[in-house]
Structure 1
Amino acid sequence: MPKLTFEATLMEKFIEILANKEEITQRALDILLVKIKDALQSRDQFTIALAGGSTPKPLYEALAQQALPWDKIHVFWGDERYVRSDHPDSNQRMARQAWLDQVNFPPTHLHPMPTAANDPKVDAETYNRELEQFFHLNAGEFPVFDVVLLGMGDDAHTASLFPHTEALTVQDRLITVGNKDGQPRITFTVPLINHARCVMFLVTGANKQEPLAQVFASEADAIAYPSRLIQPVGELWWLLDAAAGANLT
């Protein structure tokens, strides 16, 4: 299937429809390798925030096959389920198994979200401070990640920013507590994501057609469709498979 590319009014927004998950993985890998090269040339360091779920796993497995300067790459997570790091649902566990434990990453370059305090607000504050210290932020400043990877659920949530939840309205923090059917999550806030140099959505499946229609509509309720809130100052990439993007024109 030929690749379809749409460019929005700003040149920094790109929507690509690819045949399947395999093509999304390859395209995402190609983009990431360019971003890593550019960041290392400009700043001698690359920062990335990972997404959870099944869609990015093949990308992580592909990254594990690359010969990259791991000592110049710092890995963070955009959200985390409030479970132990060895729990089957842990985003950290998935990324470690698929990629991070397969290469020679310096342990200090991996920055997982803490989940051991038995209080998600405490752990969210701990991660907030870690980001402030790592990026040497002053009060009121937001870090600028080189790349933030995101997925999107069939309710148009992204990271752990779910429809009609308080987390969507947090503007003065880097990290907050999300809520999924009464279960806490730790998540990047909308403004933190939107300060990134590059945000990349990986979206698959026919069940994403209706939420994508609302996300891309000229008018819709962003509180009901949270992925609409993601409008970064840098590049915004949507990589969709043919099933997800079937109704886009």
Structure 2
Amino acid sequence: MTHIQVLSDKPTLISHALNLIVDKIHTTLQQQDKFTLALAGGSTPKPLYEALAQQSLPLEKIHIFWGDERYVPADDNESNQLMARQAWLDQVDFPPANIHPMPTNNNDPAHDAQTHEQEIREFFGVKAGEFPTFDLILLGMGDDGHTASLFPKTEALTVSDRLVTVGNKDGKPRLTFTYPLINHAHCVMFLVAGENKRPALAQIFSENGDETLYPAKAVKPQGELIWLLDEAAGAELNG
């Protein structure tokens, strides 16, 4: 089931996303004992994480992962982990054992991708060939249509037998969730803001859009797919 919502501006988008996420956490935890959340990087979700830091949440039951990570040290300003820690995770009493960052410190992206895949498998208790189901995966989208670190016409788009693989951005490696892992989620939520996203969105929501050129188009989870757009990004879709 796909929902597309165009909000008036970015603050309204963030506020709406916050309400949806908090509601999903509480609703899910009425039925199970943990909530698994994969975070997005980039600039758009930072105010969302800052807002989550102000919420009263059952942190001991929430487990944090990342959908992708730049292959830089955890204290690098480019690190998605660092951004989320500064905005949210280090601002509250989050149990360290509940935070599961992608390893990026062994100078071997392929090995680190495999290591993180094994960590995810052990956490969810799934065997090789099976895919775990995250409760919620947050994603952004670049103006080129990429999402996570699944970039146009890169090898990572074709990986179908792994949970985590090596993405490539201008020759620089990144770690990323694969399509099958993303698409096994109970819910995937895109947060997209800015007029520069309109051309890619037009292709993604077109019947004829090319998934290899606009990778976000291939995100089709078995559960719920939510697109939250600000007016600048989604005006043409709202027409």
User: TM-score, with normalisation over the residues of structure 2?
Assistant: 0.99
Alignment correspondent of 1:118: 107
Alignment correspondent of 1:78: 67
| Number of aligned residue pairs | 238
Alignment correspondent of 1:4: none
Whole-Å separation in 2 of the counterparts to 1:20 and 1:127 = 36
Alignment correspondent of 2:30: 41
Alignment correspondent of 1:157: 146
Identify the match of residue 215 of structure 1 among 187, 190, 204.
Answer: 204
Paired amino acid for 2:195: A
Report the Cα offset of residue 229 of structure 1: 0.5
Q: Deviations over 1:42-92 (max 9, x none)?
A: 111100000001100000000000111100000000000000000000000
Whole-Å separation in 1 of the counterparts to 2:214 and 2:11 = 27
Question: Counterpart of 1:138 in 2: which secondary structure?
Answer: coil
Alignment correspondent of 2:20: 31
For the aligned residues, what is the CA RMSD? 0.6
Paired amino acid for 2:222: V
Whole-Å separation in 1 of the counterparts to 2:27 and 2:131 = 21
Are residue 17 (structure 1) and residue 6 (structure 2) matched?
A: yes
Question: Counterpart of 1:127 in 2: which secondary structure?
Answer: helix
Unaligned ranges ≥5, structure 2: none
Whole-Å separation in 2 of the counterparts to 1:84 and 1:65 = 27
Whole-Å separation in 1 of the counterparts to 2:231 and 2:218 = 24
Are residue 173 (structure 1) and residue 162 (structure 2) matched?
A: yes
Are residue 91 (structure 1) and residue 119 (structure 2) matched?
A: no
Whole-Å separation in 1 of the counterparts to 2:127 and 2:117 = 13
Alignment correspondent of 1:7: none
Report the Cα offset of residue 100 of structure 1: 0.1
User: Percent identity, aligned pairs only?
Assistant: 63
Whole-Å separation in 2 of the counterparts to 1:73 and 1:218 = 37
Paired amino acid for 1:154: D
Whole-Å separation in 2 of the counterparts to 1:99 and 1:90 = 14
Report the Cα offset of residue 139 of structure 1: 2.1
Paired amino acid for 2:172: Q
Paired amino acid for 1:217: S
